[in-house]
Structure formats: structure tokens, C-alpha cells
A and B are shown apart, each in its own frame.
Chain A
């Protein structure tokens, strides 16, 4: 799949990203606080889902443990900020690097594993890793650690709230990350991953080092997940083991599948769905006069049902976005 006039496409894509960014920032000033906060959460999910799209949709590997990698990123960001007083942007960089390093180690094992083995191994990670934080006092145990990205600069005006600030940071990070991932996927590496996924033997004959290419994909994907973890820690203003439950790992895989794992632009759709489902089920539960039991479980029910339906009936993603 060689792209002709790739240069013009590239320019158009960049312009679209910039336009989306401007629209988002303008909209954020016109809606209420809750929506802004949800917007920040959508941005966090966009970053997390794009890491799965890169890994699963392009490199053909699966991870049920990206919640754990997000935890690595979140804790790294918090520790670097609290202990070394790193500026916010630097703590994000530290998050990306820490998670990428962790992902590289994992990727060495992952590159040699096929589907179900990899799924099981990463699942083990998602179940066990966050709870490790309880056992080291430096990680703050069950209470976790506070993460303070500071007040928004005064130059943005008096009524510019903390949530707006979160949204701006997360939204900018999501845009930059999506743009970067878009470029990586269009690069030599992206093509290598797709070749190695669809026909490993042919790809190897064409000179692609399958193992190395898989490890690289896992490392990059882990780094992106690390950033998502740091952003999540920011919106929660703390990190705790319970902020990165197994359900988080499942949620981002669900978002990626709903987005049709091979399409980066689907990440925004998946992210919006992930944020919208609890909102919808809350409304539904109140409408039904439901107890706390209903409110707690309806989102999971909806999400799992959507996941099953989409994998059974739309295995290639919603027809709407298919190219």
C-alpha cells in the first residue's frame, strides 16, 4: 500500500489536527465544569487507546496489561515530581521513559509469544502489578501519593478553573501524541509492523527483523500508555493502586476494539464511548430508580455487551469508519 502524494496527505492531516485542537480549546470555554472534566478524561483515553491501536491494530500483539503500564507511568510521574521537584512536562517525559523501559523488558518476552500466551502474561501483570504498590512505603500504599500539577497561570484569567487547566494539558498531550503516532504508523516502522502482522514469513524474507520490530512496537506502545497514566494521575490529582484496576486495562482494549483497532482516528470515538457509557447508565439507573448495586454494575454490563457484539458482528470495526 504505497501512498502517492504522501506529502500533501501529510500536510492535510497536520492541518486537521491543528483545526481539531483550536475547536476543542474554544469549545472548552463554553461548557460547564463536569463536561470539561469529562473532556479531560476523553483525552486521557484517546492517548491510552492509541497505544493499543498501535500495538494490536498494527503490530498484531495484544495486551491486557496496559493498565499496569499506565500505573508505571503514573507512579513515575508522581515520584519524579514529588521527590525531584521536576516540572510538570518533565514528569510526563519521565512517565513515558519509565513505562517504555518497562515495556521494552516486557516486549523482549512478548515478542516471542503468540496471542493467548501474550494475553495471559499481560493479564497477570494487570492483576498483580498495581497491588505491588501496597507493599512499598515509598509508593504510598493504599492511600497513594498526591500529584499536583499546580494552578493554571494567572494570565489565563480569573475564571479559568483547575479542570480547564487539566483539559488543556490532557487535550494538548492527546493531540501531540495522536499526531506523533499517526506519523510513526505512516513511517517505515508502521509499514514493517503491518507487514510482520499480515505475513510474518514474507516480511522476514523482505528483510524485516520480526522480533525486533515487535519489541519496538511494544516499547513505543508502553511509552504512550505511560503518558496516559501520568495524565490520568493528573486528572485524579493522585495515584493509588485502585486507580489502575483490571477494569481499566479492559476498558482501553474495549475502546480500541470499538474504534476498530486499525484506525487511529477511531480512538476519539472509542474514548467518547468509554466516557459516555457510565454517564448513560447512570441516567438509566436513576430513571429505573435503581439501587447502588445497579449503578455500580450497569456500566460494566453495557461495556462488556458492546465488546462481545462488536467482536462478533463488526470484527473490522464500525462500517462507518472503514476505509
Chain B
């Protein structure tokens, strides 16, 4: 029983990170119909910026907002400099259908190369904001540590803030309207392009939070978030790729599922398990567990 609860706790902590990455992918997909493979690059760039702040000030809590803000700025820049041109130019011909994939892939490579040029390829360690030594009750120490609790709490707060923005503010209404019916949103006076850029900025900050939260428990390298991108994508697909709640739920399902495979089956099966889950969801319930039917085609 104790082992069972420990596994669930670790799964929730891991799943929170997947959920944040899924949120970043979903925000962009809703507004632009692009699965943003460059999200791993954007997140790693903002994490490196956070790393610079940490190595100068030795303060994680200063690095956190800096990384989040640079993530948002990077996201907005990507939309303005790349995606707008791509949407305008590459809309016909044999490449049109895959142009978004190619463009974001190219951007991922570009950002990764720039990061490598500036900071080099060696693995770096992050200072832990709180300890990764598990909580102790009486004589037993569980694997779930304050750092995991921190990840879960921050993720919960981020999700809450996004939910409030989307459900309770005019900006959120504009974001939802531009994603749902861009033409009609434009007719009713919403500046759709600007709104979309804000959506990209939100996505960029969500990705940056995922990056700067997961890195202290791991290491930092130009490609250290690649697996997170894949897990985030799987989580987003489980959640239907359209819904913010779906992203969070998808992240948790994947996180807990993987934690159980790792704990009870074998640590070498994490990737095949995640891949099987992805294929199974796509074949059995392609619209995701939470999601509308129309999400598949586009």
C-alpha cells in the first residue's frame, strides 16, 4: 500500500511537468493549428537564460520569473517572425500540409544550435531550490521530496491562473473566440493576429515553467528537453490536443501510468510504454479522452 501511494505521488509530480508541456502545445495548436515542435527549443533557451541568472545571483527564485518572461517573449517573437510569414506564404503546393511541421522543426534545430554556440554542449547542474531528499515520517523516508511538492504546487497554480484568464477575462474570451472562429472574431472587433501572438506568449511561458521546474531534478544540455517534448505531445494527445483541462489530465494520466510501469514492471520499459499509450489512444480514441470530434482533421 505504501509503495502504491509513493508511486502515485511520484507520478503526479512527473505528470505535472508533462501537463505543463502539453499545455504549451495545446495553446499553440488551438490558436494556430500548428503542433509547435520548436517548443522544446524555446523552453531550453529560456531555461538557459534562467541558468545564467542562477549562476550570477545563486538565486533560483530570481531566475524563475526571468525564465518565464523570456519564455513569453521568445514565444511572441516566434509567432511574429516565423509563423506569420509561414501562414502567409506556404499555403499551397505539395509542402503546404507539412510546412508547419518543417518550419517549427527547423526552428528547433536553429535554437538548439544557437544554445550550443553560446553555452556549449556539456551537461550542467542546477542548484535545487528546495531539497530532493524525501519527506520523512517517523522512521520511513518516502521518495516524494519537497522538490516534487514544489513542482506539483506551482503547476497547480499555473493551471489555475490560465483557467482564470481563459474563463474570467476579456482576453481569455478573445483567445477562445479567435481560436474557435477567427473570421467571426475578427468581424466582432477582436485583433486576431495580436491575440494569437499573446497565445504564443502564454504557451512560451508555460513551456519555460516546465523547463525550469524539471531541470533541477535532471541536468541541463541543449537537448535535455527532447524527451519532455515527446511526453508533452503524448499527454496533449491523450487530452485531445484541444482542451486545457485535457492537457492537465493527460499529463497526470501519463505521469502516473509511467510511474507504475517504472516501479512495478521494469525501468527499461518507460519509453515503449509511453509509445504504446500514444498509439493506443490514437487508434482507439483518436479525439482524445477529453476533446471534440473535429480535432483530428486540420
Contact = CB atoms under 8 A, between A and B. Distances in A.
B282 A121 contact: yes
B101 A116 contact: yes
Contacts of B120: 293
A124 B101 contact: no
Interface stretch (A19-27, A83-91, A107-115): A107-115
A151 to B, nearest CB: 37
A304 B110 contact: yes
Contacts of A60: 94, 97
B105 interface: yes
Contacts of A131: 271
A154 interface: no
Contact of B98 (A109, A115, A120, A254): A115
B234 interface: yes
Contacts of A269: none
Nearest to A128: B271
Nearest to B34: A116
A303 to B, nearest CB: 6
A116 B35 contact: yes
A293 B286 CA distance: 43
Interface stretch (B47-55, B84-92, B142-150, B151-159): B84-92
A57 interface: yes
Interface stretch (A164-172, A173-181, A224-232, A311-319): A311-319
A4 B26 CA distance: 49
A315 B226 CA distance: 27
A250 B105 contact: yes
B226 A297 contact: no
B99 A311 contact: yes
Interface stretch (B13-21, B206-214, B273-281): B273-281
B282 A262 contact: no
B237 A311 contact: no
B100 interface: yes
A113 B37 contact: no
B160 interface: no
A303 B95 contact: no
B207 to A, nearest CB: 15
Nearest to B97: A115
Contacts of A117: 237, 282, 286, 296
Contacts of B106: 254, 304-305, 307-308, 311
A311 B95 contact: yes
A64 interface: yes
A109 B226 contact: no
Q: Which of A115, A120, A262 has the most CB of B within 10 A?
A: A120
Interface residues of A, number: 50
A18 to B, nearest CB: 29
Interface string B99-123: 1111101111110111011001100
Contacts of A57: 94
Interface string B211-246: 000000000000100110110011001000000000
B102 A253 contact: yes
B282 A112 contact: yes
Q: In which size bucket is the chain B interface?
A: 35 or more
Interface in A239-260: 246-247, 250, 253-254, 257
B282 A109 contact: yes
A253 to B, nearest CB: 7
B173 interface: no
Interface string A67-103: 0000000000000000000000000000000000000
B284 to A, nearest CB: 11
Contact of B286 (A112, A128, A247, A304): A112
Q: Which of A247, A307, A308 has the most CB of B within 10 A?
A: A308
Given A121-B278, A135-B268, A311-B103, A109 B237 contact: no
A254 B117 CA distance: 21
B203 to A, nearest CB: 15
Contacts of B114: 297, 301
A62 B99 CA distance: 10
B296 A114 contact: yes
A301 B275 CA distance: 30
A294 interface: yes
Given A109-B282, A112-B282, A112-B286, 17 more contacts: A56-B94, A109-B283, A117-B282, A119-B101, A121-B282, A124-B275, A127-B226, A128-B227, A293-B116, A293-B117, A301-B113, A305-B110, A308-B103, A308-B106, A312-B82, A312-B103, A315-B92
Interface of A: 56-57, 60, 62, 64, 109, 112-117, 119-121, 123-125, 127-129, 131-132, 135, 197, 246-247, 250, 253-254, 257, 261-262, 293-294, 296-298, 300-301, 303-305, 307-308, 311-313, 315-316
5 contacts: A297-B121, A304-B110, A308-B103, A312-B89, A315-B99
The 9 closest A-B pairs by CB, nearest first: A304-B109, A307-B106, A116-B35, A300-B113, A128-B271, A301-B113, A297-B116, A304-B110, A135-B268
Interface of B: 29, 34-35, 37, 82, 85-86, 89-90, 92-103, 105-110, 112-114, 116-117, 120-121, 223, 226-227, 229-230, 233-234, 237, 268, 271-272, 274-275, 278-279, 282-283, 286, 296-298
